[in-house]
Chain A
Amino acid sequence: MISDTELVLKLKGGGSFVKLPPVFSDSKEYVIVAGVDCLYSYHVKTGKRFLVFKDCNEKIVGFDVYNLEGSEQLIACTRKGTVICWNLNTAVKLYSFETCRKNVKKFKLVNRLYKGNVMQKAMICWKKDKRINFGFLDLSSKKFKELTISFDIGDNFLVDVGGPVDNVFICLLENNILRFVTLNDPNNIITKKSSANFTYVLCHPEYECVLTGDEQGRIISWLKILQECTKTIYHWHSLPVKSICLSKGGSTFYSGGNEAVLVRWELFEPLNRRFLPRLPSAIEQLSVSEDNVFVAISTSDNAVKIISSYFDNVSNIQHLVLGDKFPGGIVFDPRTKALVMNGVTGCLQWYSPYDMNLLFSLDVSGRNKVTGDDVDKFVIPIDIVLFDINQLGSWTATVEELHSGDELSFECFLKFWHFDATEQKFKLNSSIMYPHEKKITAIKFQPSNKEIDIRCITTSEDRLFKIWQLFDSSDMYGCSVGWRNVGSGFYRDLTPSSLSFSHDGSIAAIPFNNILTTWLPKTCELKCSLAHPIYKEDIKQVAFGVGSQCHLVVAASNDRLSVWNLLTLSMTWTVRLNISFLQADFTTPYMSVFTDNKMFVFEPSSPKPVYINKEIGSNVICSIFTPNRYKSRTNGKWHEKSQIYFITSEKQLYCLDTNEETEEYTQFVYEETNNTLFSQITPNIKTSAMEQYEPIVHNYKKSSIKKLNMLLDYPPHTMPPTSLLCESVLSTMIFEAQKQNNANQSDSNSAEEQGDVTKIEIKEKNDMDVDTNEQLSSINLKPAEWMIGLL
């Protein structure tokens, strides 16, 4: 048994990017998004990834950007209390600081608005023995000071700090109770009650103001809690408020929830609101850039959308969509060389792991989205449970099922999608209602290199398997193809559990309980049935060997892996294993089997595994072998020709790859595919370095234009001598300017009473006028001399 050490796990995507709100850099050039244990910076304009901030190795609980002596720094705190600081532009780690506080819950910079030499402080709040404690880290002196305030609290609580640095206050929410305390007066704890449970809290960075969101969709602003406590209720959301963020000035705020609608509120005008509806998914997090130009919206489909303050789309940062689970597993699409997985409910997603890019998603169910926590108690969305793609990548079969508990409400659709090469689009070819009466357990296309005569088999809990065939349904109205059921089979009234085709597609193996049967898909004829007299476990999965091992069938039951030889109709070897699932490769003879704590790679011909990995196993949901892109390397190892990808229960996509660096693709890009003509010929980003030449505007406008025109318009022979004209023209100019000046002064005299602000403006204006006046007088003096010379 060989345990390869040269193979390492590589993260190829997945993991939630929307657990923490994104943060804009002060320069607005980057937006920083938190992954599980890494931070990533993206260009705001293009949505492309720029840098990775590693070195955390722990779950990040909070991060922020701050400006220290002119350079932007990124600071983050992990759950174990380590504070790490990087240079934002280079991802160089500057320092890390151990606070030695475990179970940190919240990390926030308190005086972000104060730039320059003002002390930067970070609030850290952690939980210890059912009590929540607070401490402040001075970022310039790197000193940590624990506060004397602490609260008894349960598991579900929300906390935030706010206020300027000299008057920091803490707001702590638990269920429907709000507790408020300022650090200047820590003994005066004010408690308020609300009618509904709180879901979000945000403290104003400057004023004594707290915004809370609750389960009923209300946002309440609590003003001057220490004094009279003014409450304002902003109620638009019907579902719980998931996120609130204040603009940097603090006069407007944004909110969002499961409705997938962004709402912009004016803090002092609760009825003045603007909406951005129809976002791709529910809003998880919100964030505003330093100068309120951009808003980042983290949506539950694991994407960050950046919009301008006018609600124009700027860019999208799309990651692998994390479905609830991946019931259909992973399927490799040979056409796009992408992995196909369940995406948003009712959709399939095509994800390219090589450049970690979501190519597109296909809306299979074509149903309205059901949003809302209270709604989905009644409406269960139909979701894709199984799918397969044929060998050429031209056909995709999907099975959608709806189980809402009772027998009568079972719904099932089998759909065949054709990729139309001419139009380069997916087309729904056939949609079959109730292909089976009960749950479908497996669906597979028959391997075939032809575009015609394709078959597909489904097995179901109604104890039947059905063969579907592509047939020509052309008639006088045109050429078309469709899928129809050409036969169904059953065996001893047992339930088929799985399905596998031989490599050439000539035979199909279907296990019925503990009996392995083989059938001819063309005629639906039973070839043989195999059962072992001793090992009578129900077979869960089967897989045919490839190449020289095409006569071997691997059968996996819950606690046994056995291999049957179809030529001798006997079991060649069997081994006791607690199998979670079996995955066969369709290009190489290797197979992998995942147990509770290990992963084995083996060939059906030999009971000796070629590779064992003890790190993977317990939490793998599904896996797939894909052909290796770099086929040139051939030294006979199992991983040279194909790579194995798998998804863990944390919804992260990993790949088992050699340690040597191939080429590093470091981008997460996702583009909007819009079907309009204009969008097809318009780039998403358009830049021009052409300098815009603005017409030169002269500082002083000639008000005596009339006089000048008179001088220019009249025929010269009718005019008096130039010496006589000159002075009058120039003098009108001066006179006009002086007059204007006087007028302004009289204006300002009357305006002075109105207020300081206007006074300053007018003073500036006066200064300008005085300048022009001076210039004019100098002009007046000088030209007179040369004019005289002219004369």
Chain B
Amino acid sequence: MAMQYSKDGKYFAQITAESRLKIWNTSTNSFEQEYTPNFHLAAPCVSLHFVQPTATNRVGSPKKKIKRKTELSNHYVCLGTTNGLLLVYSITKGDLDFTINSETSEVINCSSWQSGTEMYSSANQNILCWDLENRSVKSNWKAGNETITAMYLIPKKDELLTAAKTIKLWNINTQQLLKTYVGHNDNITSMEYISTQSSGCYCLTGAKSGRILSCWNLETDSVSASTHFIMDDVIHNLSVSVDNDGMTKVAATTRNGVCHIFRYVLNGRSTRPLKPATTVRVATDNTDVVAPIHIFSANYKDDNSLMIAHGIEMKLTFEDVIVSTTDKLQCLVRAAPKLQSKAKSDGAIGQKVPIDSTEYLGTHSSKVLPKKKKEGKACEVPMEMRLENLSLNKLDTVSRSSVKNIAHLLLQAMHSQDQVMLHTVFKNRDESVIRNAVKRLPIVSIKNLLDQMTIFMRGKSLWCQTAAIWMRIIVQEHAGILASNPSLSALLEEVLSAIDAKLVNHRPLSRLKGRLDLLISQIEKQPSRDNNSSEALLVYNDKASSDSELDGIEVGSTTEDPVDGWDEDTEEVNIFNEPSGNSSSEAEDSDDAMST
């Protein structure tokens, strides 16, 4: 199963068991493209190689430049099939760009490309040079009688390394065999080239069934390996990076899904095999069992950071890892790649929706009271309650026993930090009960109680109110002890700051309350005045009460204007309110009579 990172580390390509090409975007962790080649079962793809023509590679006449730019502009994946076809897949296009037939019908086992438009591949025992620009095979020569299983084109030199059981160094221009290195007794599957500034060039190889990586110095005459690296399983995947100071870092992923990091300065021979400096493992820890997660591939990016791909084949996760320089074993705990089926249909595209396990905090506080116990979990009845239920003579001892119990329960609750118990205790607002409990509390646990108060003070206002009562009583009861405590200020600082924070809005609030009160009182006043001014639809005058008042007015009017017409008028008005009207007119009459 071939897999590779693109040169810039942006894409990861993989050929699956059923010979499909899968492309992942490493920066966004997304499975981007899948390509099923034609005849993928009859003539499956066996090798893949990223080709990424860059601007710097373009040399030559301006006309050619333009042409190349259009021919090859971005990421391409070259797939080699078992029947000698080279499929060039364009990631930009999301489809196959073109196919080159080598007309050898041999298996294209491995490829190597550095820059430009030429790529080298092996076709069984032959070496092929492809011209990707002109879509043709440029040259083809036989390289011994072994099937080539790995190859590496040495950058900036016209040399090519091919490997079967032996490693051969070729000059690609003259197609001449320069050197042969012997050492592996199985087919070499992975090969990397290391170029250090200080100590020459090396070649690192790993074979099909060995647990050993061999390192060959390419600049000496020796044909045997100079160094060996040992691992605990068969090599799967290899990546190297060289620091400025000559430190060579090798990340080797093995079959069992572990990544071994070797950090050595390559200079000369070593007889003993070298052990990995750090081993990176990924495991899940969210279930009862700690299960390992397979690392598929590790890659040193061009900025020297290590990116690993872990998970399951269907769902890979790409992650930059900061490799520990001190620990022998580095274990990363990650969520199991079990595919959570928590479907969240979010309209906004590309927004990482934060998972909601958030604690929302109140004003100025930083910790909220932990969430209430989940419903469904049977609430355990505390011992105190059970005893209370048992006690038969409740009536006479209720107050005393509860006082006793609350002190005890308080201690228990503070000890266990059980929220339900704490809430039962602090729910109590009866001052005498609290005072009793606080009094009976051992001096040692006062500090604990204060801490508890701090938590409540930071919480919601309901608990704050209770806590305020408790706090007051604690201070009253244990003022001496508190005053003698040297770390009193530290102890009370948080409570004070919490109280301060809570009181910040007190002044504006009370001001608002005052204003509101003023407004409300004015509003309340207003309707009564309105009532006074508006006339009632029906006025009922009681006989007894109206007599004396009406007397004077009516007497005055009648005495000044004793005109008949007016009398009639009054009578008309009085029709509307008959009972009183009649009575008043009668009274008038009588008054008149009296005055006269």
Contact = CB atoms under 8 A, between A and B. Distances in A.
B27 A49 contact: no
B347 A280 contact: yes
B32 A361 contact: no
Interface in B21-40: 22-23, 25, 27-40
A675 B343 contact: yes
Interface residues of A, number: 94
A673 interface: yes
B439 interface: no
A360 B348 CA distance: 11
Nearest to A354: B8
B325 interface: no
Contacts of B333: 421-422
23 contacts: A43-B94, A45-B94, A48-B92, A48-B93, A90-B66, A90-B69, A92-B66, A316-B349, A337-B305, A358-B350, A363-B351, A424-B319, A431-B360, A476-B417, A629-B302, A672-B350, A673-B351, A675-B340, A680-B339, A681-B31, A683-B23, A687-B33, A691-B38
B366 A483 contact: yes
Interface in A486-537: 488
A767 B578 CA distance: 110
Interface residues on B, range: 35 or more
A569 interface: no
Nearest to B338: A677
Given A677-B343, A687-B34, A687-B35, A629 B303 contact: yes
Nearest to B99: A689
The interface residues of chain A, by DSSP majority, are classed as: loop
A424 B95 CA distance: 31
Contacts of B54: 663-664
B355 A427 contact: yes
Contact of A433 (B22, B30, B362): B362
Interface in A331-385: 335-337, 344, 347, 352, 355, 357-363
Given A476-B416, A664-B56, A691-B38, A424 B351 contact: no
A161 B497 CA distance: 70
Contact of B55 (A92, A360, A431, A661): A661
A357 B343 contact: no
A736 to B, nearest CB: 41
Given A421-B332, A430-B359, A671 B30 contact: yes
B343 A676 contact: yes
Given A483-B366, A673-B30, A683-B31, 20 more contacts: A43-B92, A91-B69, A279-B347, A280-B349, A316-B349, A316-B350, A336-B320, A355-B10, A362-B351, A363-B353, A363-B354, A433-B362, A475-B370, A485-B497, A681-B314, A681-B339, A685-B33, A687-B33, A687-B35, A688-B36
A671 B303 contact: no
A362 B33 contact: no
B30 A667 contact: no
B366 A431 contact: no
A680 B311 CA distance: 12
A765 interface: no
A661 B55 CA distance: 8
B14 to A, nearest CB: 12
Interface of A: 43, 45-46, 48-51, 89-92, 278-280, 303, 305, 316, 318, 335-337, 344, 347, 352, 355, 357-363, 417, 421-435, 437, 468, 471, 473, 475-477, 480, 482-485, 488, 629-632, 634, 661-667, 669-677, 680-691
**Among all A-B residue pairs, the 4 with the closest Cβ atoms:** A484-B366, A278-B347, A664-B55, A46-B94
Contact of A484 (B285, B344, B358, B367): B367
B335 interface: yes
Contacts of A45: 93-95
B472 interface: no
A690 B40 contact: yes
Given A663-B55, A689-B96, A362 B358 contact: no
B91 interface: yes
B196 to A, nearest CB: 12
Interface centre among B92, B344, B418 (most CB of A within 10 A): B92
A353 to B, nearest CB: 12
A432 B33 CA distance: 42
Interface in B312-357: 314-315, 317, 319-320, 332-335, 339-344, 346-357
A300 to B, nearest CB: 13
Given A631-B304, A687-B95, A422 B286 contact: yes
Nearest to A468: B366
Contacts of A471: 366-367
Contacts of B247: none
A427 B358 CA distance: 7
